[in-house]
Structure 1
């Protein structure tokens, strides 16, 4: 297969499949999933529990590998990377936003946002603090910089989680049910924030159980029993 070369193309998934072994035989999580996502798109992946949403997100984020098919993200064939190279690639290319925030409870808000920079090692250490503070300020939570995550509201913690996801300026944001622990007002605010990131040029993929229109989403990929519904494949 040819390497995707379009400047606007960020994700090219080709006939992806994922099977997991079990005592009762292989469990098929994904079958024949193909789609493309451009830079700056805000895409929702929807489906019932067990439809394959989380599996697909893990593949896109380099947390898992497909059993079949090909996956190109940001011009890289993920199957060609060693585990060490994949870890570095993930730190540089992907920002994760989780439902349960996943902030380290013993680190301050500022330290949580600085941590990805330290792990990647591509930013001068002297710039970590100022870059983290700028992100927190951009997201309206700079006043929480010296507090521990457990002292923040759910909405504040999720904004800090977004700041952490942006720390290394990744082109792709993967959000796994990020509104699941937020009230309706904070959920709407977060979705507007994710839409603004897409408008600024980042691709955002939002995994959600919601089937109604999600504010700001430009396209919906619907999964059912591990298969992408045909009308959503383009």
Structure 2
């Protein structure tokens, strides 16, 4: 089953001088349920725009985006907001955490808004997520009192609190050092193995090496793809996967 599918997806922006600049060009893409997919490509290739368009955070110019078989362009803004709240999770390089709330409250806020379950159940899920990501001891701290890596763990918990079907990430490790980035990727791998679909944009082969499939974008088009297969932490093959991916990236000549 495909959780996401695009057909002839196009997106253009106005350059302010009466002409249109194409950003996404005839994107035909299928994301199976449970897959961990990374999108790579040079700056300006359309990676982030693709992510925002697939999630309904940006509108398409032409084509189709189906989420679980439903055409998202047919939804109203209220319906789209509800879809994102209940079925999608988001992790960004800039985490957009609320400084007037402590860590626990940043995590549970969207779940209280969604009202999918009781507050008692929400608080229990938040406690479990904080335990899984190693930040239980920080629950009562303010956002300014923790490190970048810890803040990103908070963002992951917040993204997962409503048990989304898919998790989107836009350079989620871009502002982190290599150790913190590796820890975040281990967490994302565990999340994926539990059944959550993940689609993230990254420029880092070390990050993309944890994905099952890597898509390469160039000038708004899907230029190529590379299958790595599921990453099994116990086999300790991440370095080998990174080397294979880097080798493939060097062969791309467009």
Output the TM-score relative to the length of structure 2.
Answer: 0.85
Is 1:34 the counterpart of 2:32? The answer is no
SS at match of 1:29: strand
Aligned structure 1 segments of 4 or more residues deviating by more than 6 angstroms: none
Q: Decide whether the 8 Å contact of 1:47 with 1:53 is kept in 2.
A: yes
SS at match of 2:164: coil
Match in the other structure for 2:221: 227
Is 1:16 the counterpart of 2:9? The answer is yes
CA distance in 2, matches of 1:131, 1:213: 27
Q: Decide whether the 8 Å contact of 2:10 with 2:60 is kept in 1.
A: yes
CA distance in 2, matches of 1:118, 1:26: 41
Q: Which has the higher contact order (CA 8 A, sep 6+)?
A: 1
Match in the other structure for 1:87: 81
- Correspondences of 1:209-220 after superposition (within 5 Å): 209-211=203-205, 214-220=208-214
Q: 2:39 aligns with which of 42, 45, 64?
A: 45
CA distance in 2, matches of 1:212, 1:167: 27
* Structure 1 residues 170 and 114: alpha-carbon distance in aligned structure 2, compared to 1, 3 A threshold: same
Show CA shifts across 1:151-181 (max 9, x none).
1011111111100000100010001101111
Match in the other structure for 1:200: 194
Match in the other structure for 2:108: 114
Is 1:64 the counterpart of 2:58? The answer is yes
Higher helix share: 2
Match in the other structure for 2:183: 189
* Structure 1 residues 9 and 91: alpha-carbon distance in aligned structure 2, compared to 1, 3 A threshold: same
CA distance in 1, matches of 2:225, 2:39: 13
- How many pairs were matched up? 226
Output the TM-score relative to the length of structure 1.
Answer: 0.92
**Structure 1, unaligned stretches of length 5 or more?**
1-7
Report deviation, 1:231. 4.7
CA distance in 2, matches of 1:120, 1:92: 7
* Structure 1 residues 213 and 140: alpha-carbon distance in aligned structure 2, compared to 1, 3 A threshold: closer
CA distance in 1, matches of 2:23, 2:226: 18
CA distance in 2, matches of 1:213, 1:192: 10
CA distance in 2, matches of 1:231, 1:132: 36
SS at match of 2:134: coil
CA distance in 2, matches of 1:111, 1:96: 17
**Structure 2, unaligned stretches of length 5 or more?**
228-254
CA distance in 2, matches of 1:224, 1:137: 40
Is 1:165 the counterpart of 2:159? The answer is yes
Match in the other structure for 1:5: none
